[in-house]
């Protein structure tokens, strides 16, 4: 790419990101935000409007003069905004017992969402892919008035490689699930189709809401049937050399855990995942229902309070290991089982401190703001933000030798 094209591409993406943050900006405000001349900013805007990414959003309020006393004379500037109808991005959270579908418009607003019961364990991979496609087709039909679907991301509770191959889905015992290929066959009209780890998507969702400060390091735990994890550095996902970074639920904590048939006995998720803690509650005389456990804790039931104490102990121990290795500024908890933290926060923090050397700074602990829609929102948001971000492959790509030789010959002529 030539330098003028590169600079223009970068400035276009910066303009889109600025409009996403602000909602609306005048051309003059956008020029100031980007540090560009008004003529350059206007040229950038003209191209974005021609491509349908940006629209007029009415007249701006009259600006005062620089001394703040007298309004400027002349017609007010026109406000600009992202064109919400330019595209739609669908995120899907494929859980063990549910399917959550969510759609974002190009302005980053949630258009609609649905949560459906789904018994994933009763299906094999092929049947699951077919059922998933059927549900997405129905969801798209109900989005007929929205802009064209430009991206689809399905979040799954498993390890996913860069090809969209689900390497392992431990809760269901599936390996080598070619989900992205199945989705591409079902939706050939959607340009971008991705499969993502659900904890990664959940972490992205929280970042969309809260942003990321420079130098920040956060760890996100998704506490459901198992325990998923994700690591963000300066707001960017850390995937590791093979895509396994963040598999925090698999950290060894003991010999057995509470769940006898756990994929990894003694792992963090065999102590603090939903199936594990409910198995423990049942052993102590309770039921296998999370709502019943929460109600028992609230009522001061001895077995429920004991369960909470044991859960807090092992979670705090796991968080101490994370803190010792990564030194995060923040640890965010989400998913259904995170509801236990609201009551057991003090006990979790005590366990965390107890398993660290005295004086080591503790990360902030908090619950996620994204709710049950987190993984679906993060999946849609991941693709939406990609459309508003600089394409580094596009900017830094190298021409192949034949193209380079032809370009050099043309320049010599």
Residue 190 lies in domain: 87-202+374-387
pLDDT > 90 in the chain, percent: 72
Tell me the H-state helices in 146-244.
179-186, 198-210
Q: Is 272 found in the same domain as 175?
A: no
What is the rounded CA–CA span in Å between residue 135 and residue 285? 39
What is the rounded CA–CA span in Å between residue 23 and residue 6? 25
Edge to edge, what strands does the sheet with 192-197 contain?
110-117, 98-105, 88-94, 149-156, 192-197
Q: Is 351 found in the same domain as 245?
A: yes
What is the rounded CA–CA span in Å between residue 357 and residue 90? 45
Q: Is 226 found in the same domain as 357?
A: yes
User: Residue 31: is its pLDDT beyond 70?
Assistant: yes
Of the residues 62, 82, 102, which one is the last residue of a structural domain?
82
pTM of structure: 0.85
Any domain includes 393: no
What is the rounded CA–CA span in Å between residue 401 and residue 361? 53
> Following CA atoms 228, 233, 237, 243 in sequence, which dihedral angle do they give, to the nearest 10 degrees?
-70
- Of the pLDDT bands very low, low, confident and very high (cuts 50, 70, 90), residue 397 is low
Q: Is 103 found in the same domain as 170?
A: yes
Report the pLDDT value the prediction gives residue 398, as an integer from 0 to 100: 43
Q: Provide the CATH number for the domain around residue 184.
A: 3.30.420.40
Q: Is 97 found in the same domain as 66?
A: no
The total of other beta-carbon atoms located within 10 Å of residue 56's CB is: 13
Q: By the 8 A CB rule, do 235 and 216 touch?
A: yes
Number of domains in the chain: 3
User: Residue 413: is its pLDDT beyond 50?
Assistant: no
- What are the tens digits of pLDDT across the range 318-343? 999 999 999 999 999 999 999 999 99
What is the rounded CA–CA span in Å between residue 412 and residue 375? 53
Q: Is 246 found in the same domain as 163?
A: no
Of the CA atoms within 13 Å of residue 324, those in its CB half-sphere come to: 13
What is the rounded CA–CA span in Å between residue 340 and residue 310? 11
Q: Is 64 found in the same domain as 136?
A: no
Q: What is the 3-state secondary structure (H, E, C) of 142-167?
A: CCCCCCCEEEEEEEECCEECCCCCEE
Looking at residues 385-392, what average pLDDT do you find?
88
What is the rounded CA–CA span in Å between residue 6 and residue 395? 6
The total of other beta-carbon atoms located within 10 Å of residue 351's CB is: 22
302 three-class SS = helix
Q: What beta strand segments (E) does 6-118 contain?
A: 25-26, 54-59, 78-82, 88-94, 98-105, 110-117
- What are the tens digits of pLDDT across the range 208-245? 766 555 568 999 999 998 899 999 998 888 988 888 88
For the chain, the average pLDDT equals 89
Any domain includes 137: yes
Any domain includes 92: yes
Polymer length in residues for the chain: 413
- What are the tens digits of pLDDT across the range 121-162? 889 999 999 999 999 999 999 997 788 999 999 999 999 988
Q: By the 8 A CB rule, do 365 and 349 touch?
A: yes
In this structure, the strands spanning 149-156 and 192-197 are parallel
Any domain includes 352: yes
Any domain includes 34: yes
């Amino acid at each position: 790419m030539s330098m003028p094209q590169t600079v223009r591409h970068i400035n276009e993406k910066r303009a889109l990101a600025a409009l996403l943050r602000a909602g609306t900006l005048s051309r003059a405000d956008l020029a100031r935000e980007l540090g560009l001349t008004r003529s350059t900013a206007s040229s950038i805007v003209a191209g974005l409007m021609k491509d349908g990414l940006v629209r007029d959003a009415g007249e701006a309020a009259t600006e005062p003069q620089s001394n703040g006393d007298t309004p400027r004379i002349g017609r007010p500037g026109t406000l600009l905004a992202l064109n919400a109808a330019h595209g739609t991005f669908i995120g899907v959270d494929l859980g063990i017992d549910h399917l959550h579908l969510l759609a974002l418009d190009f302005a980053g607003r949630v258009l609609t969402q649905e949560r459906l019961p789904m018994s994933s364990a009763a299906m094999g991979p092929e049947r699951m892919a077919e059922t998933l496609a059927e549900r997405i087709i129905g969801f798209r039909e109900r989005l007929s008035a929205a802009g064209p679907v430009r991206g689809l991301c399905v979040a799954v509770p498993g390890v996913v490689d860069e090809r969209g191959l689900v390497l392992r889905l431990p809760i269901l015992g599936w390996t080598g699930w070619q989900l992205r290929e199945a989705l591409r066959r079902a939706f050939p009209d959607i340009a971008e189709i991705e499969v993502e780890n659900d904890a990664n998507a959940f972490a992205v969702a929280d970042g969309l809401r809260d942003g990321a400060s420079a130098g920040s390091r956060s760890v996100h735990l998704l506490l459901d049937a198992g325990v998923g994890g994700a690591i963000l550095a300066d707001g960017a996902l850390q995937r590791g050399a093979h895509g396994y970074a963040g598999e925090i639920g698999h950290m060894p904590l003991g010999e057995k855990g509470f769940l006898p048939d756990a994929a990894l006995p003694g792992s963090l998720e065999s102590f603090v995942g939903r199936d594990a803690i409910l198995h423990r509650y049942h052993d102590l005389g309770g039921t296998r229902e999370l709502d019943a456990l929460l109600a028992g804790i609230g009522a001061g039931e001895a077995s429920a309070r004991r369960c909470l104490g044991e859960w807090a102990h092992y979670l705090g121990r796991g968080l101490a290991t994370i803190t010792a290795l990564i030194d995060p500024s923040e640890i965010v908890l989400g998913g259904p089982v995170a509801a236990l933290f609201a009551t057991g926060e003090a006990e979790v923090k005590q366990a965390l401190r107890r398993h660290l050397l005295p004086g080591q700074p503790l990360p902030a602990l908090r619950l996620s703001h994204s709710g049950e829609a987190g993984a679906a929102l993060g999946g849609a948001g991941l693709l939406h933000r990609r459309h508003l971000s600089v394409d580094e492959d596009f900017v830094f790509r190298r021409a192949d030798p034949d193209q380079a030789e032809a370009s050099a010959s043309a320049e010599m002529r």
